[in-house]
Each structure stands twice: as C-alpha cells, then as structure tokens.
Amino acid sequence: MARALLIDLDDTLYDEASYVRSGMAAVAREIAGLAGAPVPEVEALMLEELARNGRGKVFDVALERLGVAPQPDLIKGLVEAYRDHRPAIRLWPGVREALADLAQDHRLAIVTDGLGLMQRRKVEALGVEALVETVVYCWELGWPKPDPRPYLKAMEQLGGTPAETLVVGDNPGHDMAAAQAAGLRSLRVRTGRFAAETFPNLTADAEADSFVAAAPLIRRLETVS
Ligand SMILES: [Mg+2]
C-alpha cells in the first residue's frame, strides 16, 4: 500500500516556465527603472533573448541593448531580484483538489530541488504548504536530486516504510533516479520540460499525463501491491 507520497514541485504541480516568466517580469521592472524604458519593451527584449539563447545572458543582453553597462554588481542585484521575487504562479487546474483528496488517506510531502529562497517563494505563492505535512528543500540540506537522502528523510518524517512509499515527479533523471537509489517505487508525470523525453534506464512503476491524472493510478498501484 502506498500510504506516503513524496511529491516533486516544479513541473509536477505547476508549470515551471510560468515561474521563469514571472521572474523575468520582476527583473524587467528593475531594468526599466534603470534604463528609463517602458516595462513591456524591456520584458519583450528579455523574453526574446530567453527564447533564443536560454536563461544564461538575458539580463546582460537586455541591459546592453538599452545602453546600460552590465556591471557585475548590477547583474548580481538583478539575479537576487529574480530569486527573491514573489512569483505570480498557480497550481495546474485540479491539482489542489487532487492533493486534498489524496490527503484523506495518504500522508503527503513535497520534495523539491532548487535554491531554498526560490523554492520557498514558490511554495508560498502556490499555497501548497497547507496541503501537505512537510516540505523538504533538498538544496538546503546539501542533498540535490538525484541524491536519495531527501526522499528518505521525507519518508521518515511521514513515518512510512519503503513498501508504503511512492515518489511522484516529472524528471526521471532526478525523481525516478532518486527513487531507484532509495529503493522506492515511483510514478512519472508527463508534464513540463521532460514530458516528451525518453529515459531508457529510469523506468517508473507507473506514468500519467499529469498529476491530476495520476491520482487514480496511485490508488490502483495500491490495490495491486
Ligand atoms: Mg520537477
């Protein structure tokens, strides 16, 4: 019986791309103030660079295009603004209800990777802390995924045994790999960046198109175990 669920956050319960856009918008407001340019123009510049070359140089490129020298201290401040901003993000439709439903007969934990400050801001904005018993911040513990230790810690906190515990996440390289290393079963949700990717050596015990679609599968896994 899976009685303890260890659930990933980014791209499992909400769209991580929406967090990136929210962070870019926050930084665009800062840059617009510095450069005396309209916020929408700055944001458009940044999103264009993001789409073209990824996150790496977005702030530098935007500043340069607006005639502001991208000094290291300035960039550092913008990175801080990005990480510390109050994200405008939402759980995918139905996720809140699915968590509340599962919580009736499961103990739930969120196990999340990424900088503690950013992950805490996301948890706050999504209002998920009230829906689970505990949130484990892997990086704050110095155990980034696929380190199995944050999962084992969460399992312990929930009072589960390996046979009763199921890992749910979108990234096989992190979530399924950690589950394998920890000797736990796992369910992969096909949402977010890795939805279409194949991971030949990281098979999950079950797969679902979304977290909402996973809930009935979680119950089915329980009846066959
Ligand atoms: Mg994830």
Contact 123, 87 (CB under 8 A): no
Task: Tell whether 180 and 129 lie within a shared domain.
Answer: yes
pLDDT tens, residue by residue, 198-210: 998 899 999 999 9
How far is ligand 1, taken at its centre, from the CA of residue 161, in Å? 23
- Domain residues for 130? 4-15+90-224
**Domain end residue (candidates: 84, 112, 138):** 84
How far is ligand 1, taken at its centre, from the CA of residue 109, in Å? 14
- Which phi and psi (to 5°) does residue 176 adopt? -70, -35
What ranges make up the beta strands (E) of the chain?
4-7, 107-112, 134-137, 165-169, 185-189, 206-208
Residue type, 134: T
Listed in sequence order, the residues at least 6 apart from 219 whose beta carbon sits closer than 8 Å to its beta carbon are none
CATH code assigned at 173: 3.40.50.1000
Q: Domain count of the chain?
A: 2
Contact 187, 206 (CB under 8 A): yes
How far is ligand 1, taken at its centre, from the CA of residue 67, in Å? 37
Identify the pLDDT of residue 2. Answer: 64
Place of tokens 């194949």: 198
Please choose, from the candidates 100, 107, 94, 91, the residue with its C-alpha nearest in 3D space to the C-alpha of residue 2.
107
pTM of the model: 0.93
Task: Tell whether 104 and 54 lie within a shared domain.
Answer: no
**Domain end residue (candidates: 52, 84, 116):** 84
Task: Tell whether 102 and 39 lie within a shared domain.
Answer: no
- For residue 28, CA distances in Å to 68, 86, 145, 149 come to 13, 14, 31, 37
Task: Tell whether 79 and 98 lie within a shared domain.
Answer: no
Contact 118, 140 (CB under 8 A): no
Task: Tell whether 35 and 110 lie within a shared domain.
Answer: no
pLDDT tens, residue by residue, 64-112: 999 999 999 999 999 999 999 999 999 999 999 999 999 999 999 999 9
Helix (H, G, I), strand (E, B) or coil at 167: strand
Task: Tell whether 119 and 200 lie within a shared domain.
Answer: yes
Task: Tell whether 58 and 129 lie within a shared domain.
Answer: no
pLDDT band at 219 (very low <50, low <70, confident <90, very high): confident
How far is ligand 1, taken at its centre, from the CA of residue 8, in Å? 6
Listed in sequence order, the residues at least 6 apart from 196 whose beta carbon sits closer than 8 Å to its beta carbon are 190
**Domain end residue (candidates: 55, 84, 113):** 84
Task: Tell whether 184 and 126 lie within a shared domain.
Answer: yes
Residue type, 155: M
Task: Tell whether 21 and 64 lie within a shared domain.
Answer: yes
Task: Tell whether 9 and 38 lie within a shared domain.
Answer: no
Task: Tell whether 39 and 141 lie within a shared domain.
Answer: no
How far is ligand 1, taken at its centre, from the CA of residue 34, in Å? 34
Task: Tell whether 53 and 157 lie within a shared domain.
Answer: no
Place of tokens 């979530």: 175
Contact 33, 41 (CB under 8 A): no
Place of tokens 């110095």: 142
